[in-house]
């Protein structure tokens, strides 16, 4: 995608397109979502769409990126500068709790997560999802470095190995939770969020 082209698009048109895409993907799922319906709702032509995006997968991944930004705003953000050795892991638990509570109250994020991982598992369409993982890797690296500086994260293994381990465990947990979400009561999901942070802590604590 020519991201710079889309970012230069009139903000109102950006908003209409993203909103139309969100409604269509939420209602129909990724596979059945129609670009024609999205474009009709947004008041755009197909030629215009392909000026800004490579294909449906590219549009969807841009929607994911925007939604993640909105998600962080809805949970109140996360200020790593407030972390200390004493509160590092309790703040990670609080962050996981806020993410889970938002999923409990807004099913769109759960649907989006399922669609994202289905797309990622499809070799023909997974390329656009890589930028979300690059951003996640960057964020995890920063948090691990902060934790190491505070004495809350181990320093005896290479940084890239720790990041790979966190990414792998995180993806496994995401997939399991998304696949079993409907079977788990809201309060059990919140308890499980702390258990998941516990897995990361056992992996990373000095």
Residues 61 and 27 in one domain: no
The CATH number of the domain holding residue 42 is 1.10.10.60
Residues 93 and 183 in one domain: yes
How confident is the model over 56-100, as pLDDT tens digits?
888 888 887 777 777 777 777 788 889 999 999 999 999 999 999
Across the chain, how many H-helices and E-strands are there?
A: 10, 0
Please report which residue ranges of 75-106 form alpha helices under DSSP H.
Answer: 88-105
Residues 93 and 74 in one domain: yes
Residues 64 and 135 in one domain: yes
Per-residue model confidence (pLDDT) at position 79 = 85
How confident is the model over 142-151, as pLDDT tens digits?
999 999 999 9
Of residues 23 and 202, the one with the higher pLDDT is 202
- Looking at 53, 72, 88, the residue that finishes a domain is 53
- DSSP tag of 76: T
Domain of 6?
Answer: 1-53
- What is the residue-averaged pLDDT of the chain? 88
Residues 60 and 40 in one domain: no
Split at pLDDT 50, 70, 90, the class of 203 is very high
Tally of structural domains, the chain: 2
Proportion of the chain above pLDDT 90, given as a percent: 45
The CATH number of the domain holding residue 67 is 1.10.357
Of residues 78 and 101, the one with the higher pLDDT is 101
């Amino acid at each position: 995608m020519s991201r710079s082209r889309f970012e230069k698009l009139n903000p109102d048109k950006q908003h209409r397109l993203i909103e139309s895409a969100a409604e269509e993907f939420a209602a129909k799922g990724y596979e059945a979502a129609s670009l024609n319906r999205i474009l009709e709702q947004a008041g755009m032509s197909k030629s215009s769409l392909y000026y800004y995006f490579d294909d449906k997968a590219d549009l969807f991944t841009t929607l994911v990126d925007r939604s993640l930004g909105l998600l962080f705003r809805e949970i109140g953000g996360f200020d790593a500068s407030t972390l200390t050795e004493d509160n590092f892991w309790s703040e990670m638990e609080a962050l996981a709790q806020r993410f889970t509570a938002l999923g409990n109250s807004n099913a769109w994020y759960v649907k989006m997560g399922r669609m994202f991982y289905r797309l990622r598992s499809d070799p023909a369409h997974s390329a656009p999802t890589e930028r979300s993982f690059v951003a996640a890797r960057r964020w995890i690296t920063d948090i691990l470095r902060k934790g190491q500086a505070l004495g809350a994260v181990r320093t005896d293994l290479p940084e890239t190995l720790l990041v790979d381990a966190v990414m792998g465990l995180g993806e496994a947990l995401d997939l399991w939770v998304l696949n079993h979400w409907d079977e788990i009561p809201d309060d059990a999901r919140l308890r499980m969020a702390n258990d998941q942070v516990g897995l990361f802590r056992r992996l990373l604590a000095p």
